[in-house]
């Protein structure tokens, strides 16, 4: 089984052609919208913030592995394990994950699924 433990392994994965196709497919499936913002009732991904030119700031979307690449290499290319997130939500999510991971011995695998 291919592993994605080191930065080098991850970099190789994220630079691979199959991943680039998959990422494009996930963005299309999710309409280029942040799925977390959507769940929280924000319809659009933008913040109404304007940049210096007076146009809307573009928010970078990230295709996120719901189950971490490192822990679940078998789900690396599983569309069901991927979703579009804005940078903001993505950071928040990973913060939460890392914080909880350190003190929660057993995480209920289904807790997140049931929430939505
Ligand atoms: Zn978001
Ligand atoms: Zn992520």
CA of 2 to the centre of ligand 1 (A): 30
Q: What confidence score (pLDDT) does residue 110 get?
A: 47
Q: What are phi and psi of 46, to 5 degrees?
A: -85, 165
CA distances to 10, 81, 99 from 15, in Å: 8, 19, 28
Q: How confident is the model at residue 12 (pLDDT cuts 50, 70, 90)?
A: very high
Please count the other Cβ atoms lying within 10 Å of the Cβ belonging to residue 85.
25
Q: How far apart are CA 38 and CA 44, in angstroms?
A: 7
CA of 53 to the centre of ligand 2 (A): 30
| Residue, of 113 and 9, whose pLDDT is higher | 9
Q: Which ligand is nearest to the CA of 91?
A: 2
Q: Which ligand is nearest to the CA of 97?
A: 2
pLDDT surpasses 60 at 46: no
CA of 28 to the centre of ligand 1 (A): 16
pLDDT surpasses 90 at 13: yes
CA of 67 to the centre of ligand 2 (A): 9
Q: What's the pLDDT tens digit per position in 62-90?
A: 999 999 999 999 999 999 999 999 888 99
CA of 33 to the centre of ligand 1 (A): 8
Q: What are phi and psi of 64, to 5 degrees?
A: -105, 140
Cβ–Cβ < 8 Å for 92, 73: no
> Could you state, in order of their start, the residue ranges of all structural domains in the chain?
7-115
CA of 34 to the centre of ligand 1 (A): 5
Virtual torsion, Cα 104, 108, 109, 114, nearest 10 deg: -130
Q: What's the pLDDT tens digit per position in 94-106?
A: 876 555 544 444 4
Q: How many Å from the N-terminal Cα to the C-terminal Cα in the chain?
A: 32
């Amino acid at each position: 089984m291919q592993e994605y433990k080191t930065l080098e392994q991850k970099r190789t994965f994220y630079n691979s052609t199959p991943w680039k196709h998959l990422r494009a497919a996930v963005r299309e499936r999710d309409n280029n919208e942040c799925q977390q913002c959507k769940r929280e009732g924000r319809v659009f991904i933008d913040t109404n913030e304007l940049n210096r030119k007076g146009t809307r700031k573009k928010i970078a979307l990230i295709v996120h592995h719901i189950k971490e690449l490192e822990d679940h290499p078998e789900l690396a290319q599983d569309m069901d394990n991927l979703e579009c997130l804005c940078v903001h939500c993505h950071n928040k999510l990973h913060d939460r994950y890392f914080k909880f991971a350190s003190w929660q011995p057993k995480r209920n695998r289904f807790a997140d699924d049931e929430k939505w």
